[in-house]
């Protein structure tokens, strides 16, 4: 299902660029200065959450389309691998770099917990690693699916646009409509848990983490991944030159 040579090469290709390296350093600092609390999940909330999501976007910008547009995807897919293996390999490669970034942040938070002499229980802290990935990977799968059908880094633009549009709708629209006498806040509250992948670490800190939220993220991850594979299976691989 996954082409490991593609995954390794993608991790090498994405992980050694200046921007992801800078962002990884930022994740480490977030861990140091924000994640020294009892569980370390704080590193991925507030500013840390935004930093993590942008790291995802940096890693998955043009992840599929850049390869197709350059023509390298044609050469690779003329080798004996399936399109599904290639898409999954690209996704996995970017996910490997993401995992490295998450691990750095986690290590930063662990160091700070020790420095502060606080509760640095490793077992409790370890659960932050899979949960951070469970928050970030569904976003990455979404960006990959968009990259199959949109050129260049436009997948990042669409996702940022979507997030801004949702943020404005969620926080401004109910207030405006309330002035006109319509109370839509309960409806927004009802759909919010299904508006994209959820930050399960926030729920962990609030003590409200339920299996349904984690399952929703897992569902989103596999749905977006499957969609990416299905869409890529249908598309042509060569662009007509200008």
Partner 1 sequence: MTAALSAQGLTKRYWTASGGAFLAVDNFSLEVQPGEIIGLLGPNGAGKTTAMQLALGLLHPDAGIARLFGLDPEDLTARRQVGYAPDAPLFPKVLTGKQVLELHCDLLGADRSRVPQLIEQLNFVEASRRPTATYSRGQQQRLGFAQALLGEPALLLLDEPTAGLDPAGVAQVREILVGVKSRGGAVLLNSHLLSEVERVCDRVLFVKGGKLLRTHEVGAGGKRAELRLANAAQVALEIAAKLPAGVLEGDRLRVPVPDESAVPKLVREVVALGGEILEVKLAGAELEELYLRLVEGQA
Contact residues: partner 1, CB under 8 A = 3, 5-6, 9, 12-13, 16-17, 67, 70-72, 74-82, 236-238, 240-241
Neighbours of 129 (CB within 10 A): 15
- Minimum separation from the CB atom of position 189 to partner 1 (A): 45
Q: Any residues with CB less than 8 A from the CB of 38 and at least 6 apart, and which?
A: 118, 119, 124
Which CB, 3 or 217, lies closer to partner 1? 3
Which CB, 77 or 103, lies closer to partner 1? 77
**What is the Cα–Cα distance from 166 to 186, expressed in whole angstroms?**
16
Which CB, 147 or 198, lies closer to partner 1? 147
Q: How many residues does the chain have?
A: 242
CA 30 to chain centroid: 17
- Minimum separation from the CB atom of position 65 to partner 1 (A): 13
Which CB, 81 or 223, lies closer to partner 1? 81
- Minimum separation from the CB atom of position 78 to partner 1 (A): 5
The answer to whether 90 and 1 are in contact (CB under 8 A) is no
Which CB, 98 or 128, lies closer to partner 1? 98
Torsion on CA atoms 134, 125, 114, 15, rounded to nearest 10: -30
- Minimum separation from the CB atom of position 11 to partner 1 (A): 11
Angle at 69 between CA 67 and CA 74, to 5 degrees: 60
Ramachandran angles phi, psi of 152, nearest 5°: 55, -140
Neighbours of 101 (CB within 10 A): 28
Distances (CA, A) of 199 to 9, 11, 26, 192, 209: 29, 24, 19, 12, 10
- Minimum separation from the CB atom of position 84 to partner 1 (A): 12
- Minimum separation from the CB atom of position 74 to partner 1 (A): 5
The answer to whether 124 and 41 are in contact (CB under 8 A) is no
Which CB, 82 or 226, lies closer to partner 1? 82
């Amino acid at each position: 299902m996954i082409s490991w040579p593609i995954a390794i090469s993608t991790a090498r290709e994405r992980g050694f660029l200046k921007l992801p390296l800078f962002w990884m350093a930022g994740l480490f600092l977030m861990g140091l200065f924000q994640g020294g609390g009892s569980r370390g999940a704080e590193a991925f909330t507030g500013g840390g959450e935004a930093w993590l999501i942008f790291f995802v976007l940096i890693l998955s910008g043009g992840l599929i389309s850049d390869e197709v547009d350059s023509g390298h995807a044609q050469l690779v897919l003329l080798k004996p691998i399936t399109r599904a293996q290639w898409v999954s390999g690209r996704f996995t490669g970017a996910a490997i770099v993401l995992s490295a970034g998450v691990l750095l942040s986690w290590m930063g938070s662990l160091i700070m917990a020790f420095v502060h002499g606080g509760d640095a229980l490793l077992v409790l802290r370890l659960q932050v690693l899979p949960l951070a990935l469970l928050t970030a990977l569904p976003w990455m799968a979404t960006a990959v699916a968009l990259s199959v059908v949109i050129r260049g880094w436009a997948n990042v633009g669409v996702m940022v646009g979507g997030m801004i549009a949702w943020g404005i709708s969620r926080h401004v629209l109910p207030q405006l409509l309330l002035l006109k006498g319509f109370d839509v806040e309960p409806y927004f509250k009802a759909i919010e848990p299904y508006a994209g992948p959820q930050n399960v670490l926030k729920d962990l800190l609030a003590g409200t983490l339920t299996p349904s939220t984690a399952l929703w993220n897992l569902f989103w991850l596999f749905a977006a991944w499957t969609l990416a594979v299905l869409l890529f299976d249908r598309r042509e691989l060569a662009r007509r030159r200008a």
